Amino acid sequence: MLKGATVVSIGKLSNIEYVSDKELATRYGVVRQTIWRWVESEPTFPRPIRLTPGCTRWSLQAIEEWEHGRASMEKAG
């Protein structure tokens, strides 16, 4: 689990981990605005999920899948 990730239980069987724009910015060594720029300009970057008004997060699983996809593309290219 990413330090500070939010875990939300949905039903009895699943725990979904969410990360904030601040956590993503720290993960990639960029500022928060860059994360939002990627949302607008990078078609493969995972879309954020609005959990409540004023609370937008990304699925950690979707972020990790995106990272693996990019790593695979870099190896192939």
Instruction: Give the pLDDT confidence of 46-56 residue by residue, as tens digits.
Output: 999 998 899 99
| Residue 13, pLDDT above cutoff 50 | no
Nearest Cα residue to 45 out of 19, 73, 64: 64
Across the range 59-65, mean pLDDT stands at 96
Q: 3-state SS of 24-55?
A: HHHHHCCCHHHHHHHHHHCCCCCCCEEEECCE
Here the tokens at position 35 are 């994360």
Across the range 27-47, mean pLDDT stands at 97
Residue 77 to residue 13: CA distance in whole angstroms: 39
Identify the pLDDT of residue 7.
58
pTM: 0.76
Across the range 7-23, mean pLDDT stands at 73
